[in-house]
């Protein structure tokens, strides 16, 4: 059994769907006011190298609702002491480690050195927690049969796209990346998705081709944290890929709009789209809580997947 949550590609399709089913169950229990202290007496260390709103609050609130506690650590891993030493200290005090870092290798090092579960809450390479919440949201709005659905990811082949590609390598779901040349994502992740998926996976520079028959249109900021110096150039390159009313109209009439947030209105998406009736981005944000609780309950507690 996998004891860390680093990449969605580390799990089988059955395990990923079990996370999602548990997330749905925990969401219902929360809605109905049914206590679920599955992690009573457990403590999670939260390591943040990057600013955070959704990640910080959803992990803190999630552990509280599961009966556990959190301890915040704002630091840059590897500066005051080695990443391995941080892991070997934390494993003596807490029951799990959540890390939101720049360098993906730091999360790998934490997991290799620590005897307790390590959860990747975002790196420059992957964002697996986000995609669990996204798929939970997709199932809520479009049904449980993911194999019949198409997601069009518009913009940069970044860490969020990488985790979408990892997901479809395990669970059949049709995915198309619509991006300018040179922004197609990490070749090793793209090639694995192409080889392993049992659904359709395409990359195109043509929005009309990419959004055809899409059930969901997804975008993210054009310049992620750490890419601020590239922002002006990226704004020019990605301008034709702004999700506005005309671009969204290329998808199915009932297509939903998705965004992992934070969003820059007037940049990657217009206000009329993200604040319009097709938008489910705040449902995604809500589901970060429930999806991450499923991961926590499974890795730190006795919940099964």
Does 106 qualify as catalytic in the annotation? no
Q: Does residue 153 surpass a pLDDT of 50?
A: yes
Does 220 qualify as catalytic in the annotation? yes
Task: Give residue-wise pLDDT tens across range 187-208.
Answer: 999 999 999 999 999 999 999 9
pLDDT attached to residue 2: 72
Range of the domain at 242: 130-284
Q: Which residues pair with 219 in a beta bridge?
A: 154, 259
Same domain (yes/no): 193, 268: yes
Instruction: Indicate the SS3 state at residue 133.
Output: helix
- Residue 203 belongs to a domain: yes
Does 54 qualify as catalytic in the annotation? no
Q: Does residue 227 surpass a pLDDT of 80?
A: no
Does 127 qualify as catalytic in the annotation? yes
Same domain (yes/no): 106, 212: no
- Residue 294 belongs to a domain: yes
29, with CB counted inside 10 A (0-12, 13-18, 19+), is: middle
C-alpha dihedral, 145 to 21 to 289 to 228, nearest 10°: -50
Q: Does residue 303 surpass a pLDDT of 80?
A: no
Q: Does residue 147 surpass a pLDDT of 60?
A: yes
- Residue 27 belongs to a domain: yes
The overall average pLDDT reported for the chain is: 95
143: left (phi over 0), alpha (psi -120 to 50) or beta: left
- Residue 305 belongs to a domain: no
Does 104 qualify as catalytic in the annotation? no
pLDDT attached to residue 179: 98
Same domain (yes/no): 103, 151: no
Same domain (yes/no): 253, 291: no
33: left (phi over 0), alpha (psi -120 to 50) or beta: left
Indicate which residue of 65, 130, 242, 284 is catalytic.
130
Q: Which residues pair with 5 in a beta bridge?
A: 119
pLDDT attached to residue 86: 96
Q: Give how many domains the chain has, as a whole number.
A: 2
Q: Which residues pair with 44 in a beta bridge?
A: 70, 96
Same domain (yes/no): 112, 228: no
């Amino acid at each position: 059994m996998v004891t860390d949550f680093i990449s969605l590609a580390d799990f089988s399709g059955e395990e990923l769907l079990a996370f999602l089913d548990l997330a749905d169950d925990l969401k219902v229990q929360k809605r109905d006011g049914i206590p679920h202290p599955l992690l009573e007496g457990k403590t999670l260390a939260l390591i943040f190298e990057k600013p955070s709103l959704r990640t910080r609050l959803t992990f803190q609130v999630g552990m509280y609702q599961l009966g556990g506690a959190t301890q915040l650590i704002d630091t840059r891993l590897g500066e005051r002491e080695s990443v391995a030493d941080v892991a070997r200290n934390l494993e003596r005090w807490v029951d799990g480690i959540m890390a939101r870092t720049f360098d993906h290798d730091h999360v790998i090092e934490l997991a290799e050195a620590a005897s307790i579960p390590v959860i990747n809450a975002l790196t420059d390479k992957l964002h697996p927690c986000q995609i669990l919440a996204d798929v939970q949201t997709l199932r809520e709005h479009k049904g449980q049969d993911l194999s019949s659905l198409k997601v069009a990811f518009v913009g940069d082949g970044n860490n969020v796209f990488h985790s979408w590609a990892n997901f479809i390598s395990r669970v059949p779901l049709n995915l198309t990346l619509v991006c300018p040349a040179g922004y197609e994502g990490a070749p090793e992740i793209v090639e694995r998705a192409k080889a392993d998926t049992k659904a359709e996976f395409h990359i195109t520079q043509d929005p009309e081709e990419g959004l055809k028959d899409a059930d969901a249109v997804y975008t993210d900021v054009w310049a992620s944290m750490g890419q601020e110096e590239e922002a002006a150039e990226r704004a020019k390159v990605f301008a034709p890929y702004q999700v506005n009313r005309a671009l969204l109209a290329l998808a199915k009439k009932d297509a939903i709009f998705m965004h992992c947030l934070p969003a820059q209105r007037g940049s990657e998406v217009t206000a009329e789209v993200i604040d319009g009736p097709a938008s489910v981005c705040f449902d995604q944000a809500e589901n970060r809580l429930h999806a991450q609780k499923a991961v926590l309950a499974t890795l730190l507690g006795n919940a099964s997947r």
